[in-house]
Structure 1
């Protein structure tokens, strides 16, 4: 029995449209039907542009040739990313009715490649830790993670094939893991972030949620990159338990080990890589950089609307106030040293295999989960991909995380396709 269009991956939908077996309008309608059925439980969306999406789909269906690699694919746009006609609320009452009047650069990029903006997906407050209204579609009593909660949940619940995310700490990889979808955080600076609300300028990175690793190749193609094919040779994989291995749930530690054995059985050369003890302070270094830079970007909101900021954000900004110039310099020095350590690692391994999160999505909606397995990679700016693999004791998704050298995103996507085929 053929899949309903909303359940297709972007790659599958593109193939069907190229074969004249699917119209963009039919895909949009199937997504809207799913949203109507499930949004009352999942709460993934802040705003929808159903009529705009329908008009765009009809226009694309009249084209003799595809506009680009994402022709006819609906998108969920995280609500810290500006869109021309829909409000960009940033998950805050301060911006409840704010309309930017122009699309962010990343939205323009994918629209020019043929994509269709379906609506704005829920974000935590300013992409921080204060949770939004979204529920995990696998169990509505559990968090979807944050801050890209709505996009991850919408892709997981088959409301849309692709969703935008951003990561300053763990805001793409962690919700990807919690919702059981493919999640990609690019090399820092890989995409123009003009039109995205800044949290920490030296950390904020654009990412995406999809159903398959191959869908990431379509996104990269929309940015003008030639997707790399999965290599013919097996990869050299570094099993990186990290210095915080004991903070992963026992079942998740076991799952990472199972993934490593599965890849080894598939031909990969898997060896342990011990993270240097000198990396221990990177968690603190990341937090100092993040909170200090946030104080620089949220000065106007603090000055004019302090009563509309959550207690959590207020406390985080107060931490940033206390970060000294010497502490910030030390954080940047530790980052440089860690990157030097990694340079030698990439002579031995094609990518590292590590936890994406501590375990399953925690119960409750007020806490979006611990980014401890994401912070240091975000600080270092490396490209990362989370791939779903198995489920935990409560039936919620688990994932593995792949990490690769800076600016090797296309090669990482290719390796992710190789890994996905072995873990499926």
Structure 2
């Protein structure tokens, strides 16, 4: 895998040449992409030319863009045949900001259909017989395969944290609203949130902070033990034995390294909020994709078509009630976070499931997306078969840097143990 932070430092110091970086990437893509299938479209040579002309802190490094995010110089099909060969007139705001910061767009990565459930062709680089997760399938898999050091994704349920966990990389979903979604194909305007993938926590903190115009870097300070809240079992989410063992390992390492640990029970409103996520998502998706449903419903997957039909039965009163529950849960989370710096829990029920018919479950992510809170997958633990197991840390809204600092600290303890 490629570290964006270390590459940027090496390019700045002159110890690495940009054309050498791109040559190595091109060779790797040539060998592995036929199996991994992370890209919808790519142009390594054009990215190198753009990178050589780029200025800014990203130093011309290649960045991949999930294919539900508009790019003016590459097709954007949103994972659907309805939009085959669609070419936006201009970049999404986040892509324009990435180019301003010195990123070179190497290609568009596979998304599930409209960033929902229907999987694309991407496979997990760690084990090709397993899913890479979704909906940001290609972005996560491409980082794990070493095709690029940074990639953009989106999360409506668990589409950044979960694929990062399955692929053994860092995935960071910032606080809602900290990265602009103008030019992203919206599925749910309350939930859709941009996120970033990288090799490790320092990489996503470096890249996301630049894009957000905020100081989120964690490599410039000595990590200190955070106050960690240990979430009691979430009634709607069950982890398998391997994941429970990984969580116990993370807890033990954190405690041994000096982190104050506190068991935290979620208030009853969180159970209602978990159900409210689906009400809000489906109500908004039915409206966001009204044109596609009305004009080309036969080109939608059965699972999406059924979801939109169900969403059409949700009335405004039920939607408003779900939004009120979400607001109550956000206030309850704010109270919880007065006691701790981060909440610790699994990123997914277990390791990446075998097969490509599903991208796995987002049960450990959905309610935290609804909270609008920063969430990050901390890589470094594995099951007996060598498949990655991700630990999720969730912070308080707007406390993104503190959340990343805690994740960086925990990741360092995984590395020190020899797991990462």
Task: Please give the range of the TM-score, normalised by the shorter of the 2 chains.
Answer: over 0.9
Q: Please give the alpha-carbon distance, in whole angstroms, between the structure 1 residues aligned to 2:25 and 2:127.
A: 20
Say if 2:220 is the partner of 1:221: no
From 49, 52, 58, the counterpart of 1:55: 49
How much does 1:315 deviate? 0.9
Q: Where do 5+ consecutive residues of structure 2 fail to align?
A: 416-420
How much does 1:274 deviate? 1.1
How much does 1:245 deviate? 7.5
1:96-135, aligned counterparts within 5 Å?
A: 96-135=84-123
Contact 1:228–1:411 (8 Å) recurs in 2 = no
Contact 1:382–1:406 (8 Å) recurs in 2 = yes
Say if 2:286 is the partner of 1:292: no
Contact 2:341–2:402 (8 Å) recurs in 1 = no
SS at match of 1:225: coil
Q: Which residue of the partner structure matches residue 387 of structure 1?
A: 378
Contact 1:162–1:208 (8 Å) recurs in 2 = yes
From 279, 282, 290, the counterpart of 2:273: 282
Contact 2:217–2:401 (8 Å) recurs in 1 = yes
Per the normalisation by structure 2, the TM-score is: 0.95
Q: Which residue of the partner structure matches residue 177 of structure 1?
A: 165
Contact 1:188–1:382 (8 Å) recurs in 2 = yes
From 344, 347, 353, the counterpart of 2:338: 347
How much does 1:232 deviate? 5.8
The number of aligned residues is 412
Per the normalisation by structure 1, the TM-score is: 0.94
Say if 2:134 is the partner of 1:146: yes
1:152-231, aligned counterparts within 5 Å?
A: 152-219=140-207, 220-227=209-216, 229=218, 230=221
Shift of the 241–27 alpha-carbon distance from structure 1 to 2, 3 Å rule, reads farther
How much does 1:335 deviate? 1.0
Say if 2:38 is the partner of 1:44: yes
Contact 1:69–1:222 (8 Å) recurs in 2 = no
How much does 1:422 deviate? 1.3
How much does 1:228 deviate? 5.3
Shift of the 120–266 alpha-carbon distance from structure 1 to 2, 3 Å rule, reads same
Say if 2:382 is the partner of 1:366: no
Shift of the 246–58 alpha-carbon distance from structure 1 to 2, 3 Å rule, reads closer
Shift of the 245–231 alpha-carbon distance from structure 1 to 2, 3 Å rule, reads farther
Deviations 1:156-180 (A, max 9, x none): 1111111111001111111011111
Q: In angstroms, what is the RMSD of aligned CA positions?
A: 1.4
Say if 2:320 is the partner of 1:332: no
From 399, 402, 406, the counterpart of 1:411: 402
How much does 1:233 deviate? 4.3
SS at match of 1:214: helix
Q: Please give the alpha-carbon distance, in whole angstroms, between the structure 2 residues aligned to 1:222 and 1:377.
A: 22
Shift of the 391–233 alpha-carbon distance from structure 1 to 2, 3 Å rule, reads closer
Q: Please give the alpha-carbon distance, in whole angstroms, between the structure 2 residues aligned to 1:93 and 1:40.
A: 21
How much does 1:74 deviate? 0.7
Q: Please give the alpha-carbon distance, in whole angstroms, between the structure 2 residues aligned to 1:277 and 1:58.
A: 54
Q: Where do 5+ consecutive residues of structure 1 fail to align?
A: 1-6, 61-66
Deviations 1:32-73 (A, max 9, x none): 21111101100000001223112113324xxxxxx2221121
How much does 1:101 deviate? 2.2
Contact 1:142–1:362 (8 Å) recurs in 2 = yes
SS at match of 2:195: strand
Shift of the 313–48 alpha-carbon distance from structure 1 to 2, 3 Å rule, reads same
Q: Which residue of the partner structure matches residue 347 of structure 2?
A: 356
Deviations 1:362-410 (A, max 9, x none): 1110111110000100111101000113112432110100100101112
Deviations 1:84-112 (A, max 9, x none): 11100111111111000211110111111
How much does 1:222 deviate? 3.8
Contact 1:243–1:277 (8 Å) recurs in 2 = no
Q: Which residue of the partner structure matches residue 239 of structure 1?
A: 230
Q: Please give the alpha-carbon distance, in whole angstroms, between the structure 1 residues aligned to 2:316 and 2:10.
A: 56
Q: Please give the alpha-carbon distance, in whole angstroms, between the structure 2 residues aligned to 1:223 and 1:25.
A: 28
